[in-house]
Amino acid sequence: MINRHGGIAMNLDEFTASREQHEIVKLPISEKELCDRYEQVFTSAVNDVLRELGYVYQTMPKEILPLREDMKVAGIAFTVKGSKNLTLTSEMEQRAKMLEELNEDSICIWDTSGDDESAQWGEIMTMASKRRGCRGAIVDGGVRDTDKVLEQNFPVFCKYRTSNGMLGRFRMIGWQMPVKLGDVFVYPGDVILGDIDGVIVIPRNLAYDVLLKSEYIKENEKEIKQMIVDGLTPTEVVKRGGYF
């Protein structure tokens, strides 16, 4: 295609499709069952399965950690994008609309464009999200009201804690759009798993097969651990199909 200046025009159709046209594929089991079962496995097993499939950049930045070490959550990605912004007009109304669109079994994923100043999550947002059936929040930014969030037993993963609210410092650009946290893209509908070792993103079209293989790894490791308890040397464990 030739543009009006006589050069080659850029064709963005394929690039656009790769970023924006991700179908929310139907899963063979309910989203609730899928998430419940993912919460019974662990991120390391899921990571190993994804690696075998060629997906090696699925972990969120290592600084994103649970507010409490025993927090664990799996959910369906509900993405939010925002950035530093000083404007105030209709900001609270925008937040309210986003919260009202949260789905049951969702997990709220915040791409903050590298914000290092504000808390994108707090006590009241936790209360509202729980009422919508949201399972947790992953924030590439900050949290405040930490003690009040912890009291609600709602899994929250974040980079830092601060008393700074968003108003006048940060605002949302939109939600339910592709976002990027660190090296990993997150699309609405993807499956998210977070535990003490961080957060991993499972593409929705792979989520059920990855779950089955992760469950197999969990059971298989019981046998490996038993070999060690029984006194087998590491070499003998490997010869029997184990690993370290």
- Tens of pLDDT, residue by residue over 176-192, are 999 999 999 999 999 99
Q: Would you call 62 exposed, middle or buried from its count of C-beta atoms within 10 A (0-12, 13-18, 19+)?
A: exposed
Annotation: binding site for substrate: 122-125, 144
Domain count, the chain: 1
Residue 15 in domain? no
Q: CA Rg, the chain, in Å?
A: 21
Confidence of residue 8 (pLDDT cuts 50, 70, 90): low
pLDDT at 1: 52
Confidence of residue 97 (pLDDT cuts 50, 70, 90): very high
- Mean pLDDT in the chain? 93
Confidence of residue 15 (pLDDT cuts 50, 70, 90): low
Tell me the sheet residues that pair with 181.
184
Domain containing residue 156: 27-228
pTM of the model as a whole: 0.90
CA distance 244 to 232: 13
CA distance 184 to 181: 6
Residue 187 in domain? yes
Confidence of residue 223 (pLDDT cuts 50, 70, 90): confident
Residue 6 in domain? no
pLDDT digits over 56-96, tens only? 999 999 999 999 999 999 999 999 999 999 999 999 999 99
Confidence of residue 238 (pLDDT cuts 50, 70, 90): confident
**Proportion of the chain above pLDDT 90, given as a percent:** 80
Q: Is there a contact between 73 and 200 (Cβ–Cβ < 8 Å)?
A: no
- Is the pLDDT at 222 greater than 90? The verdict is no
Written as six digits, the tokens of 142 are 């900050």
- Is the pLDDT at 21 greater than 60? The verdict is no
CA distance 60 to 63: 8
What number is the average pLDDT over the span 186-209?
98
CATH number at residue 95: 3.50.30.40
Written as six digits, the tokens of 11 are 């064709």
pLDDT at 20: 67
Residue 11 in domain? no
pLDDT digits over 128-143, tens only? 999 999 999 999 999 9
- Is the pLDDT at 5 greater than 90? The verdict is no
Annotation: binding site: 122-125, 144-145
Residue 16 in domain? no
Residue 139 in domain? yes
pLDDT at 61: 98
Distance of CA 65 to the CA centre of its chain: 11
Indicate left, alpha or beta for 182 from its phi (over 0: left) and psi (-120 to 50: alpha).
Answer: left
What number is the average pLDDT over the span 107-125?
98
For residue 147, give every residue at least 6 positions away whose Cβ sits within 8 Å of its Cβ, in sequence order, or none.
none
Residue 61 in domain? yes
Annotation: binding site for Mg(2+): 145
Residue 47 in domain? yes
